[in-house]
Chains A and B, each alone.
Chain A
Amino acid sequence: MKSIFFLFSCLCSAFLSAQTYNPLWIPDTLSGSNITLTIKDTFAQLRATGNQTITGGINNSQFWGPTIFINKGDTVHMNVLNKLNDSTTIHWHGMHLPAVMDGGPHQVIPPGTLWQPYWKVTNNAATYWYHPHLHEMTLEHLTKGIGGFIIVNDQEESALALPRKYGIDDIPLMLTSRRYNTANQFVVQNVAYGDYLLVNGTRDPEITLPKQIVRLRLLNAEVERAYNFGFSDNRKFYIIANDGGLLDKPVQVSKLLVAVGERYEILVDLSNDNVGSSINLMSYNANQPFGFPGGEPAAQGNFGSLLNNKDFNCLRINIGKSTNSPITSIPTSLISNQFINSAEATVNRSINVKGGVPGNPTPFNFNDKIFDINRIDNTVNLNAIEKWTITNSNVFGHTFHIHDVQFKLVARNGNTNAVGLHEQGWKDVLYLPRNENASFIAKFDDYADPIHPFMYHCHFSNHEDGGMMGQFVVNNPSSIIDNMPDESQYTLFPNPASDVIFMENKGVEIYYITIVNSVGKSVMMLPQPEIHKGISIAHLPKGMYYMQIMDAATKTTITKQFSK
C-alpha cells in the first residue's frame, strides 16, 4: 500500500514538474482626459484544448479590458460605447463622483449607445476598477470578462520610492475563476465558484519579475471565492495600500485575505532571489473556518469547485535580472492619512444580513428587504458623517461594498482593536465573516442628487443580483426648487448641425441629455453635460434626432428636434 502511495507521489511530482505555464497577459493602458471604452461580444481561447469561449471584451481585448490611468485633480471624460447586443452598465468602483455618473443599475446603456460621464478625480492614488452593474445581469456580464483596472496617481504617491513601471515591476493581478460546460462555455447559473483560475484572463500564468522590490496590485474579481494569499516559501511581504489609498506605513505579513471586490497593493522583495529561480504566489484556502467563501468541501455543484478548500498556485514568478534604477528598499513610512474621527458621526445606521438560509426560498438581503430599484432605502444628508454597522448573524461570509465614499473601518464586533492593521486605510469593500459585525464611518460630501441613488450591496455578484442590495440618495436639504422650464428656454443651433450641436439654455442647469434617433433608439446619454462646450455628434449618421433635455432643478424632460 505504502509503495503504491510512493509511486503515486512520484507520478504526481513528475506531473507537477512538467507543469507548463502561459505568459501572464498584462492589459493595455489608456490615459489622458478622454478615455474610450467600446464594450463588445468576442471570444477567447481560455482552455488548453477545444473550442473557444464566448466572452466580452473592451476595445481590443478578449477578456478583461485595458487599465485606465488617471491623475487626482484631473477631470476625466469617459466615452463608453456599448456594442454588445444587450444592455449593460459600467460602474467606476471606488470612485467618488456624482450618482448620475456612477454607472450603477440606473445608468443603463442600451446597445449601440454612447454614454459620456465625466468627473473630477478626487480619489487618492490606489487601485480601483470598472465593471458592469446591471441589476440581475451583473454576474453574467462579469463572468464574460467585462471590466478593467483603474489606477489613480497623485503627488503624494509619486513622491515615494515605490515600483511603478507598469508591467515590469508594478503588476496588476485580477484573480477570478470559471466553470466551463462540455462545449468550453462559461457556466453562469447556480455557480458560486469556478473550477479553473484565470489571472488577467490567463490560465496557469507565469511572469518574469526583476530581482528587486516589486509591487503587485491584487484584485479579487470572483463571484464568491476569497483568496488567502501567501508565497510558496512563506516569505514575508508588505501591504502598502488597500481599496482607497496608501496606508500610513507598510504592514508586514506572510498571509493576506482578499475578499471579493477588495484591492490590496503589496511589495515583495525579490532582491535576494537568484536569477532563474522561481516562487509561486499561492492562495492558502485549505482548512479555513466554516463560512470562508471557497472553503466548502465539495468539488462540484453550486457551492463546490475543484479549487475549494485547497491551497493552489495563482502565479508562477520567475526571477530575472534587475532593471535600471530598481527600488531596493521597503519604505518605512508612506503617507499621513487624515481619517475622520468616530466621534464626529452624527447618524448611526444598522444593516443586517438576512435570508439565504438553505431550504428557505428568501434570497440573501439586507434588513429583510429584497432590492427594489424603485425604492430608496436610505436618505443621507449632504456632508453628513455617518457610522454604519453591518451585522452578519447569518449562515455565510459576505463582502459589503458601498458606492460614493471611501470609508474608515472603525470596529469589528464592536472592538476597535479587532480591525486588522492592513485594513487601517481607506476602503470601499469590507469582508464580513459569519457571526460577525463591522462598523465604518464615512463622510458623504460633494454630490447631492435627490433622484439618482448610490448602491450598497454584497459584492458576491450572485447575491447582489438576487437582491442583497440597497440604495441611498444624498440629499441637500438647502437646495431650492425652481420653476419648471418650458420649451422656449432651450434653442438648438446650428440646426441642421454637422459635427457639434450647441444649446442656448437661458441659465437652466442641465441634468441629463439623451439623444434618440428617428426610430426611437437612444444613441447618446450625457449625464450633466458641459453644455457650453457643445455636444459632439460627429459620429452619428445623418438623420433626424430628438434631444431629451432634463433640467437639474425640477427634473422635467423637454424634447427638442434636430437634424444632422
Chain B
Amino acid sequence: MKKLFYVYMIFFILISLSISEINAKEKQSIINRVIKPFAANTALGTLFSLHGKDEYAAIAVVFTCNHCPFANLYTDRLNAFYQEYLPKGVLLIAINPMDSILYEDETLINMKTKALKDNFLFPYLQDADQSIAKAFSADFTPQVYLLQKRHSSWKIVYKGIIDDNGKSPEIARKYLKEAADSLLLQRPIKDSIIESFGCKIIYRH
C-alpha cells in the first residue's frame, strides 16, 4: 500500500517537473522567434502583407475565427484596442487559422459576413493553408501575439491572452495592453507568455 503510494508520488513529481520544463521550453522557442513576412487575403477582398509595415512599432496578431463563442466575446475589445493603439504605432490584425474545407463556418465568404456584421475595424485575414498559424505555433482562438521589429525582422515578444475575463471585461486584467504599453515605453514585458485557451485550432496534416 505504502509502496504504491510512493510510486504514485514519484510519478507525480516526474510529471510536474516535465510540465515546468515544457513551459520553460515553450518560452524559449516562442519569445524572440522571427516571423517571416506573410501575405494573405482579407475578408473584404484586399491583400494584407507584413512586408513594408515599417511605420509600426509593433503588430498585435490575434488568431480568432467565426464560430468560437469565446473568441466572439472579444470583438468590441479588439476594435477598441485597434482605435486606441493605432495612433501609438501598434497595428492590430486578426487571422482566421481554422480549416475552412473541414469547417464551412470558417470560409472566406462567412468571414466577410462576420467582419461586416460585427463592424471589424481591423483587417481579418484568412490563413487558408494554416501556414501563418504554424509559423506562430498558434494553438487556440482567441490567442494573441505581439510582434516587435528588431534588426529589420518581426520578432514575437508576447504570446497569450487578450485579457483574463471573457465575459466581464470591466474586471479583467488587460495583458495585451500591458504588453503593448511596456513595449511602447521600451520596458521589458514582464509576463511574455500567458497560458491561453479557447477553441482548439485543428491542423490539417
Mutual binders A and B: yes
Question: Beta-carbon contacts of A301-330 to B below 8 Å, as 1s and 0s?
Answer: 111100000000000000000000000000
B67 touches A83 (CB 8 A): yes
Chain B residues positioned under 8 Å from A297 (CB to CB): 5
Point out the residue from A40, A301, A521 that lies within 8 Å of B12, measured CB to CB. A301
Q: Is the interface of B mostly helix, strand, loop or mixed?
A: loop
Kindly state whether residue B69 has any CB partner on chain A within 8 Å: yes
Point out the residue from A51, A110, A304 that lies within 8 Å of B8, measured CB to CB. A304
- The docked-state distance in angstroms from the alpha carbon of A520 to that of B104 is 12
B165 touches A304 (CB 8 A): no
Kindly state whether residue A480 has any CB partner on chain B within 8 Å: no
- Give, as a whole number of angstroms, the nearest-CB distance from A179 to chain B: 13
A182 touches B195 (CB 8 A): yes
Chain A residues positioned under 8 Å from B196 (CB to CB): 183
Kindly state whether residue A43 has any CB partner on chain B within 8 Å: yes
A112 touches B103 (CB 8 A): yes
B69 touches A85 (CB 8 A): no
Point out the residue from B9, B165, B166 that lies within 8 Å of A301, measured CB to CB. B9
Chain A residues positioned under 8 Å from B69 (CB to CB): 40-43
A50 touches B197 (CB 8 A): no
- Give, as a whole number of angstroms, the nearest-CB distance from B153 to chain A: 30
Kindly state whether residue B86 has any CB partner on chain A within 8 Å: no
Kindly state whether residue B178 has any CB partner on chain A within 8 Å: no
- Give, as a whole number of angstroms, the nearest-CB distance from A501 to chain B: 20
Kindly state whether residue A190 has any CB partner on chain B within 8 Å: yes
Kindly state whether residue B39 has any CB partner on chain A within 8 Å: no
- Give, as a whole number of angstroms, the nearest-CB distance from B104 to chain A: 5
Chain A residues positioned under 8 Å from B198 (CB to CB): 54
Chain B residues positioned under 8 Å from A303 (CB to CB): 8, 11-12
Kindly state whether residue A290 has any CB partner on chain B within 8 Å: yes
Kindly state whether residue A185 has any CB partner on chain B within 8 Å: yes
B8 touches A302 (CB 8 A): yes
Kindly state whether residue B16 has any CB partner on chain A within 8 Å: yes
Point out the residue from A85, A301, A520 that lies within 8 Å of B199, measured CB to CB. A85
A50 touches B15 (CB 8 A): no
A51 touches B101 (CB 8 A): no
- The docked-state distance in angstroms from the alpha carbon of A237 to that of B103 is 49
Q: Tell me the residues in window 266-309 of chain A with beta carbons closer than 8 Å to chain B beta carbons.
A: 290, 296-298, 300-304
Kindly state whether residue B58 has any CB partner on chain A within 8 Å: no
A54 touches B199 (CB 8 A): yes
With A41-B199, A85-B200, A300-B12: A111-B103 Cβ-Cβ less than 8 Å: yes
Q: Tell me the residues in window 85-126 of chain B with beta carbons closer than 8 Å to chain A beta carbons.
A: 98-99, 101-106
Chain A residues positioned under 8 Å from B194 (CB to CB): 183
A83 touches B9 (CB 8 A): no
> Which of B68, B69, B98, B200 has the most chain A CB within a 10 Å cutoff?
B69
- Give, as a whole number of angstroms, the nearest-CB distance from A500 to chain B: 22
With A112-B105, A521-B102: A358-B4 Cβ-Cβ less than 8 Å: yes
Q: Tell me the residues in window 148-180 of chain B with beta carbons closer than 8 Å to chain A beta carbons.
A: 161, 164-167
- Give, as a whole number of angstroms, the nearest-CB distance from A313 to chain B: 26
Question: Beta-carbon contacts of B53-77 to A below 8 Å, as 1s and 0s?
Answer: 0000000000001011110000000
With A301-B12, A302-B12: A86-B202 Cβ-Cβ less than 8 Å: yes
In the complex, the chain B residue whose C-beta lies closest to that of A523 is: B104
In the complex, the chain A residue whose C-beta lies closest to that of B8 is: A303
With A51-B165, A52-B166, A85-B102: A302-B68 Cβ-Cβ less than 8 Å: no
Kindly state whether residue A479 has any CB partner on chain B within 8 Å: no
Kindly state whether residue A352 has any CB partner on chain B within 8 Å: no
With A86-B202, A182-B195: A52-B105 Cβ-Cβ less than 8 Å: no
B68 touches A41 (CB 8 A): yes
A41 touches B166 (CB 8 A): no
Point out the residue from B12, B65, B167 that lies within 8 Å of A298, measured CB to CB. B12
Chain B residues positioned under 8 Å from A50 (CB to CB): 164-165
Point out the residue from B9, B67, B102 that lies within 8 Å of A41, measured CB to CB. B67
In the complex, the chain A residue whose C-beta lies closest to that of B15 is: A190
Q: Tell me the residues in window 233-263 of chain A with beta carbons closer than 8 Å to chain B beta carbons.
A: none
With A43-B69, A85-B99, A85-B200: A183-B195 Cβ-Cβ less than 8 Å: yes
- Give, as a whole number of angstroms, the nearest-CB distance from B20 to chain A: 13
Chain A residues positioned under 8 Å from B65 (CB to CB): 85
Q: Nearest 7 A-B pairs (CB), nearest first?
A: A301-B12, A358-B7, A185-B197, A43-B70, A111-B103, A41-B199, A303-B8
Can you list 12 A-B pairs with a CB-CB distance of less than 8 A? A40-B69, A41-B70, A45-B167, A181-B195, A185-B197, A297-B5, A298-B12, A301-B9, A302-B11, A358-B8, A358-B11, A359-B7
Mark A residues whose CB is within 8 Å of B. 40-43, 45, 50-52, 54, 83, 85-86, 110-112, 181-183, 185, 190, 290, 296-298, 300-304, 358-359, 395, 519-521
Given contacts A42-B70, A52-B167, A85-B106, 17 further A-B contacts (CB under 8 A): A41-B67, A43-B166, A43-B167, A52-B165, A52-B166, A85-B200, A112-B105, A183-B164, A185-B195, A296-B8, A300-B12, A301-B12, A302-B8, A302-B11, A304-B12, A358-B4, A520-B101
